[in-house]
Amino acid sequence: MIKPFNPSPAGTIAVAHVTSATTPAPLPDGCDTLAIFNSSDTATAFMRIANLPSESASGANAAIPVAGGAKGDIPIPPLMQIRLSCAAGPKKFSLISSAEDGDNPVYITPGTGN
């Protein structure tokens, strides 16, 4: 069933592009969809969403995949928007980027719907 995306009022989070993973930060319990926009025209962001057993659980840091090596998290290419579905309940996110771009953050809008 298709349900229009309904963003959380004043819920958008801006996260700077950094080359060290951000500390996992909480997302609202009621959200089941995230709209994510990478405003950088050069840096690719990688995002991890961890569904947690409780709000006090720590979550994990995002990682950049390496060809022939370590696996990484979902990429958000420059100047692109994606939507991700996530489970209800406690969850945290972490971001890491291919390059620093402090003037052009990644915008994460939690909400419900498709």
pLDDT of residue 19: 92
80 domain-assigned? yes
How confident is residue 88, by pLDDT bands cut at 50, 70 and 90?
A: confident
How confident is residue 101, by pLDDT bands cut at 50, 70 and 90?
A: confident
68 domain-assigned? yes
The domain total for the chain is: 1
1 domain-assigned? no
106 domain-assigned? yes
- The CATH number assigned to the domain holding 37 equals 2.60.120
**Which domain, by its residues, includes 74?**
6-112
Global pTM?
Answer: 0.90
CA dist list (Å): 68 to 2, 59, 96: 38, 26, 19
User: What's the gap between Cα 96 and its chain centre?
Assistant: 9
